[in-house]
Amino acid sequence: MTQAPTPTADGVRRLVRSLLDEGGDGTGGPDVRPVTEDRTHTWWIGRGHVLRLAPDREASARRRRELRLRDVVRPHVPVAVPASVAHGDWAPGLAYTLDTRVPGGTADEHDVSAVGEADLAGLLSGLRAVPVRQAEALGVPRTAPRSLEALRRMAVHAAERLAAADEFDAARLLQLTPPGAAQLAAQPGTAVLTHHGLTGAHVLVGDDGRVRGVLDWTAAVVGDPAEDIAGLAVAVGSPAAVRAATLAGYGA
């Protein structure tokens, strides 16, 4: 396989200058800089755009699918989904998309308010409303739900090791029995479109605690909505995630 080129500021600037009506008068064009030093395939372009460069062909396929999926998702959810102003190949077979920048900071930086929890509930219920066949027609893969019984057994073994070190009361896990795990498992026919990557970095929150947008839809799958709820538990905290899921109709 041919080694993918490493993006440089000059190369990014040339690409962006050809896409945006900036720098046509001989000036240097918009300011460009990597989002972080270790993420050389994602660049801030001025104050209003972000350029995402696929590093390989597999990522390119996901990027191209994401472009179509975002258009399908956008009417169903109450938060912003990035829009592409230009897309194509930045190197042979390697896709790029130049997106509008969604305002807000990451959920790692801002707490979600009660109204923000309602925004998350709207996100979850909106994803459930996306027709599964329409998502799969775009190439979104379907994944089977995790086996809660397998997870329960792993948790029991871990608890036993911690209990041997006097660091955990293993009896607490006795409440989750095999029949209980089976009762909690995802039921047939409940698969929905899921973002499958709801990390703190992908959930944008305003200073007022409202959820402003959700980034990076390349990992989306048709599967168990519990995966997105679990992602939100890490991104915004378990209490907020549970309340949002309950508002969305996923309460036990």
What tens-digit pLDDT sequence spans the chain (252 residues)? Answer: 456 788 999 999 999 999 987 554 555 678 999 998 777 899 999 999 999 999 999 999 999 999 999 999 999 999 999 999 999 999 999 999 999 999 999 999 999 999 999 999 999 999 999 999 999 999 999 998 887 777 777 877 787 888 888 877 877 767 767 776 566 666 666 899 999 999 999 999 999 999 999 999 999 999 999 999 999 999 999 999 999 999 999 875
d(CA 49, CA 83): 10
Matching CATH number, 9-100, of 3.20.20.60, 3.30.200.20, 3.20.20.70, 3.30.420.40: 3.30.200.20
The owner of tokens 């896990």 is: 173
Give 84: exposed, middle or buried? Use CB within 10 Å, 0-12, 13-18, 19+: middle
- Let me know if domain 105-144+187-247 sits in CATH 1.20.140.10: no
Does the fold of domain 105-144+187-247 match that of domain 9-100?
no
Number of H helices, E strands in the chain: 8, 10
Q: What is the pTM of this model?
A: 0.85
Q: Position 13: which residue type?
A: R
Name the residue ranges covered by the structural domains of the chain: 9-100, 105-144+187-247, 146-185
